[in-house]
């Protein structure tokens, strides 16, 4: 027997498990609504034109692949920081924000979690109920106790804002609060501007540590609109952590491009923070990969490519909105008397559809339509060819 002999099989990842089952399904009309990926109307993951152009420019230059600095490509970090906080913002102008390239949004969260564990080892972490399923696992694996604050109210199909605010008001100072900046995953239910005002107030008053996770900037109401909450938190003062991801907004899932930004009280404090954050990176993976960062930096800093990106991103956002509208409209025929209007109000790629676990199981076994047991569907996986079949099936299982 070796140390490996007694190791038990780990549970399957719930979401990736759906895709495995989907791939094994032989029904030609199968639909996978369980994913967290944007598909175009042809059911394909797009390669954005701005990405293709940036890549061909980079190919022509054909540079050697030395190591990047620990904190990543400087041009990337700068461009991302300006995107997230605004080039003219006080935190950028006063050099109070630091930004390091990270391995996707997940990598950014992990860097932040490891950093926080070093400098605030006794704090506890709070995530929304429900949240992206990896939030809990990530912060637990960094050594934190992770709690939930109330977030979604299934009866109103909206945010349980009173419950959320009350929970925030009772957290001990120094607690780390993970907040979805926009396009809440999995529910699609976001806070209103007025609600954010209240959240910022209580977070600031109680000395909580906000950790904004922005994985879907541009999928809600627009790049600037979705980023506004980050700027509002930055203006409120206090330490702030922001993870962001380009997996979806650049359709660069497998390149692993994201970043962690931390806002400090002064440029001098920021430089100390950066020096320590670099140690976290160094002891994890030393320095990030080059390609994805170069592509994003090129697009963001080349006006022509940037315009192209903004248009392509708007195209994805609009298509999802159209699918929300179509879903609701078509369900009015197939499921009369049931109100699905909340689907239109939801933002981002996902919808908590209200389908029960039993209904999700029937969709899978009878119609080869795959959704998450919680009823989460990926609206970005609907298209003009599969939507009628999906609506028909939902109408039958309701």
Select 97 or 242, whichever has its Cβ closest to ligand PMP. Answer: 242
Task: Pick the binder of ligand PMP from 217, 247, 351, 359 (CB under 6 A).
Answer: 247
Q: Which residues are catalytic?
A: 132, 213, 248
CB of 199 to ligand PMP, least distance (A): 17
Question: Using CB under 6 A as the criterion, what x/- string covers residues 200-229 for binding ligand PMP?
Answer: -------------x-x--------------
| Interaction between residue 130 and ligand PMP (CB under 6 A) | no
Name the β-bridge partners of 159.
152
CB of 309 to ligand PMP, least distance (A): 17
Sole residue written with tokens 């605004």: 86
Name the β-bridge partners of 378.
350
| Interaction between residue 346 and ligand PMP (CB under 6 A) | no
- Listing DSSP states for 46-84 in one string gives ---HHHHHHHHHHHHH-----PPPTT--HHHHHHHHHHH
Number of residues in contact with ligand PMP under rule CB under 6 A = 12
| Interaction between residue 76 and ligand PMP (CB under 6 A) | no
How many helices (H) and strands (E) in the chain?
Answer: 15, 13
CB of 186 to ligand PMP, least distance (A): 8
Question: Using CB under 6 A as the criterion, what x/- string covers residues 95-114 for binding ligand PMP?
Answer: ---------xxx--------
Helix (H, G, I), strand (E, B) or coil at 122: coil
Q: Give the C-alpha separation, 79 to 96, whole Å.
A: 15
Integer CA distances (angstroms), 374 to 96, 190, 357, in order: 41, 18, 6
Select 81 or 247, whichever has its Cβ closest to ligand PMP. Answer: 247
Select 104 or 227, whichever has its Cβ closest to ligand PMP. Answer: 104
Q: Give the C-alpha separation, 2 to 352, whole Å.
A: 45
Integer CA distances (angstroms), 282 to 102, 114, 277, in order: 12, 12, 9
CB 108 within 8 A of CB 260: yes
Select 160 or 249, whichever has its Cβ closest to ligand PMP. Answer: 249
10 to 39, contacts with ligand PMP by CB under 6 A? 36
Burial class of 147 by CB neighbour count within 10 A (0 to 12, 13 to 18, 19+):
middle
CB of 172 to ligand PMP, least distance (A): 25
CB of 105 to ligand PMP, least distance (A): 3
CB 86 within 8 A of CB 92: yes
Q: Give the C-alpha separation, 345 to 158, whole Å.
A: 9
Select 245 or 287, whichever has its Cβ closest to ligand PMP. Answer: 245
304 to 333, contacts with ligand PMP by CB under 6 A? none
CB of 88 to ligand PMP, least distance (A): 27
139 to 198, contacts with ligand PMP by CB under 6 A? 180, 185
Select 130 or 258, whichever has its Cβ closest to ligand PMP. Answer: 258
CB of 217 to ligand PMP, least distance (A): 11
Select 57 or 284, whichever has its Cβ closest to ligand PMP. Answer: 284
Q: Give the C-alpha separation, 32 to 24, whole Å.
A: 12
274 to 293, contacts with ligand PMP by CB under 6 A? none
Q: Give the C-alpha separation, 248 to 232, whole Å.
A: 23
Residues whose CB falls within 8 Å of the CB of residue 329, separated by 6 or more in sequence, listed in order: none
Contacts with ligand PMP by CB under 6 A lie at 36, 104-106, 132, 180, 185, 213, 215, 245, 247, 258
């Amino acid at each position: 027997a070796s140390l490996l002999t007694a190791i038990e099989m780990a549970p399957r990842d719930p979401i990736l498990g759906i895709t495995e089952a989907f791939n094994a399904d032989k029904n030609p009309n199968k639909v996978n609504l369980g994913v967290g990926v944007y598909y175009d109307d042809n059911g394909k993951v797009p390669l954005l034109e701005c990405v293709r152009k940036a890549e061909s420019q980079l190919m022509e230059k054909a540079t050697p692949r030395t190591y990047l600095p620990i904190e990543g490509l400087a041009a990337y970090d700068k461009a991302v920081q300006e995107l997230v906080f605004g080039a003219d913002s006080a935190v950028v102008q006063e050099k109070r924000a630091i930004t390091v390239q990270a391995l996707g949004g997940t990598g950014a969260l992990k860097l932040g979690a490891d950093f926080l564990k070093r400098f605030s080892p006794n704090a506890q972490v709070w995530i929304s109920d429900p949240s992206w399923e990896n939030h809990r696992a990530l912060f637990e694996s960094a050594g934190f106790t992770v709690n939930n604050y109330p977030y979604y109210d299934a009866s109103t199909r909206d945010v349980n804002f009173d419950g959320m605010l009350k929970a925030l008001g009772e957290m001990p100072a120094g607690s780390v609060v993970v907040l979805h900046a926009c396009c809440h995953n999995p529910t699609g239910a976001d806070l209103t501007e007025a609600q954010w005002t209240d959240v910022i107030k209580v977070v600031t008053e109680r000395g909580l540590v906000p950790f904004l996770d922005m994985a879907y900037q541009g999928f809600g109401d627009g790049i600037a609109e979705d980023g506004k909450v980050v700027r509002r938190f930055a203006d409120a003062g206090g330490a702030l952590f922001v993870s962001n991801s380009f997996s979806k907004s650049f359709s660069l899932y497998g390149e692993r491009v994201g970043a962690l930004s931390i806002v400090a009280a002064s440029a001098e404090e920021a430089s100390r923070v950066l020096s320590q954050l670099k140690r976290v990176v160094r002891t994890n993976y030393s320095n990030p990969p080059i390609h994805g960062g170069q592509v994003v930096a090129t697009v963001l800093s080349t006006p022509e490519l940037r315009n192209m990106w903004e248009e392509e991103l708007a195209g994805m956002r609009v298509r999802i909105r159209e699918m929300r509208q179509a879903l609701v409209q078509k369900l009015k025929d197939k499921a009369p008397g049931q109100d699905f209007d909340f689907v239109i109000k939801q933002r981002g790629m996902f919808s908590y559809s209200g389908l029960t676990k039993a209904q999700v199981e029937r969709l899978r076994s009878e119609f080869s339509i795959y959704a998450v047991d919680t009823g989460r569907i990926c609206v970005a996986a609907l298209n003009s060819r599969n939507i009628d079949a999906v609506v028909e099936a939902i109408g039958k299982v309701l």
